[in-house]
Structure 1
Amino acid sequence: MDMLENLESLQFDYGIPEEDRFWLYLQGRSRGLMIEACAHASFFCKVLHNLRELLPKNKSSSSLSSESFDVTEKADLKVGIIGGGHLGKQLAHTLLQLVPIPAASLRISTRRPETLGKLSTVFKSSDSTRLKLLLNHTNILRPQYHCVEDLDKIWGANKEITAALQDPVILRATCPYSPNGGVILNIKWLEGVIYAALNVCTASNVDCRQALKLLNQLFLSVHFKDCRKHEDSCPKFQLPHVVSKSYVKNLLHRRPFPWFDLTAVQLRETPFSQYHSTNTVLQDHLTYLYCDSFGISPNKEEQPVDLMGSPSQ
């Protein structure tokens, strides 16, 4: 038992003058932003991991050439974190425990390796010039967050981030469509995740039809229980949902999709934006997928059902 755990004089806000206590909401906002960032990074890594698991399973499909996949490329997903400060360390712990990413596949670039503690085993020295070259492209996702003034006090203060992300209330608040918690994610980020998955398919020389099949397996495999009765009404990605109608007319279905500029995807309207923005059924299914990837349901009443045999999270 920790005798000092609830000692008032050791609390963060002890000694702050009454007239300055208004600014304490910034502490909750900072923690909420950190939890959301770690949750969304974990989800993105889970999506990439599951897509990599699906790709070899589709190698034998007649719609794919024998050179579509390099079966020797079966290494674990590799992740690099730039900076080993408070956020970088929390992100590393989250990815190691919740994705999970093997320690050997995680690298942290920092100029202060002595601050990493137990994470020093995954430290790799920073090379600013090389980092600039690596990031000089458009294949980057940039989540943007909006904070409301009345921040809900659900983020807690003492839990480790990994523990917080196992709390159903907190985890549901990180859902891309959720306004709970007062920290709201720009939904264009989720759109970028979907186009990023298509870019992975393109890089693996997967043709358009097979890529759409993989996209449906990856993002729309978790359903409501009622979907068993009304499966035909479930959303399903089609070509016009991801590329323009004019492009569809000239698209050779046995060719891969074009390479999508993820920066443009997150800044402009796309065919998926139009399909997604008013499709509440699709939004509900993506919400189920997000929560299921962390092992919870979006609400207490209903559990998600896997109808397509998606890879384990």
Structure 2
Amino acid sequence: MGHLGKQLCQALLEKTKIKPSHIKISTRRPELAVEFVHTEVECFFDNRRLAAWADVLFLCCLPSQIPKVCVDLRSHLAKHCLVYSFTSAIPVTRLAKLLGHDYILKPKYDVVSCDTVDVWLSCSHVASALADPLLIEASCPLTMKGGISLGLNWVCAVLYILLNICTSASLGSSEALLLIKSIFKEKCGDTVQLNAHSFINSSYASSLLSDEPFPWISLMDAQIRETPLLRFLSSSKSVQQCLSAAYKSQMETPAK
């Protein structure tokens, strides 16, 4: 089991409310995952089994391993299983072809020179880093502190994922919007004005009934094309600030 996979699993156990029994790991050397022996996290080596079981699947492997892993996963992923890829060398469109699956989120980092890049050297463990206010600030997707940013396309994709979850649960558009607005409510009250036009094209939004679910949103489009949500967020610095505040608040809140 690689370093990234171990760090991710530890962070999920320490920083979220996900039960250990709801986490499974497929790795070539499950016997080396000694950190999780005394938890209910299940470790094995069967990529197809993992793919058939997962609602969210994290790809934590080297670029050279991707083709073989994709062969294992291909045709075993449920249509709405979210695949999050940490492998940066392969474009999301190429990954979709290899997997035969297009519900993928892949971060694309922007890097700039700055005087605070050393902040990343202050901690070598992800779970500990996410308890450090300076690193929480630096890791906020929409800031450039620490020299790394994820940008608006990734943020849009995350919000569209939340919308798709509401759609898969058959929630009406009004209820879905209320749930997404609740993310901002603690820090920004009712100042964030989101409506159907913020997420989908005007012609569809105008005819969408309040008890009718939103259409399923393509994550490929959300990451590589200009979407209504991207235009909305690009034009609203106040909403971007609310998103940043919501992120920091979530990271600073201990999991119970």
How would you bin the TM-score normalised by the shorter chain? 0.7 to 0.9
Within 1, Cα distance between the matches of 2:118 and 2:103? 35
Asked if residue 265 in structure 1 is aligned to residue 222 in structure 2, the reply is yes
2:176 aligns with: 211
**AA at the equivalent of 1:132:** R
Asked if residue 87 in structure 1 is aligned to residue 4 in structure 2, the reply is yes
Change (3 A) 1:115 1:279: same
Asked if residue 105 in structure 1 is aligned to residue 22 in structure 2, the reply is yes
1:155 aligns with: 120
Secondary structure, in 3 states, of the residue corresponding to 1:198? helix
Structure 2: which 5+ runs fail to align? 48-68, 78-98
Deviations 1:221-275 (A, max 9, x none): 2225xx5xxx5xx112111101111112332333211111111111111111111
Alpha carbons 2:123, 2:129 under 8 Å: kept: no
Alpha carbons 1:147, 1:184 under 8 Å: kept: yes
Q: In angstroms, what is the RMSD of aligned CA positions?
A: 2.1
Within 1, Cα distance between the matches of 2:240 and 2:113? 26
Deviations 1:179-234 (A, max 9, x none): 111122132111111110111111111111211111212x222225xx5xxx5xx1
The correspondence for 2:74, drawn from 128, 132, 142, is: 132
Asked if residue 118 in structure 1 is aligned to residue 35 in structure 2, the reply is yes
Asked if residue 166 in structure 1 is aligned to residue 131 in structure 2, the reply is yes
Count of aligned pairs between the two proteins: 207
Change (3 A) 1:100 1:252: closer
Residue 149 of structure 1, CA deviation: 4.3
**Greater radius of gyration (CA):** 1
Alpha carbons 1:139, 1:196 under 8 Å: kept: no
Secondary structure, in 3 states, of the residue corresponding to 1:180? coil
The correspondence for 1:249, drawn from 179, 198, 206, is: 206
Change (3 A) 1:157 1:294: closer
Residue 282 of structure 1, CA deviation: 0.6
Secondary structure, in 3 states, of the residue corresponding to 2:121? coil
Mapping for residues 31-42 of structure 1, pairs under 5 Å: none
Within 1, Cα distance between the matches of 2:110 and 2:237? 22
Deviations 1:131-166 (A, max 9, x none): 222253222211111223457101125542211211
Percent identity (aligned): 31
2:241 aligns with: 284
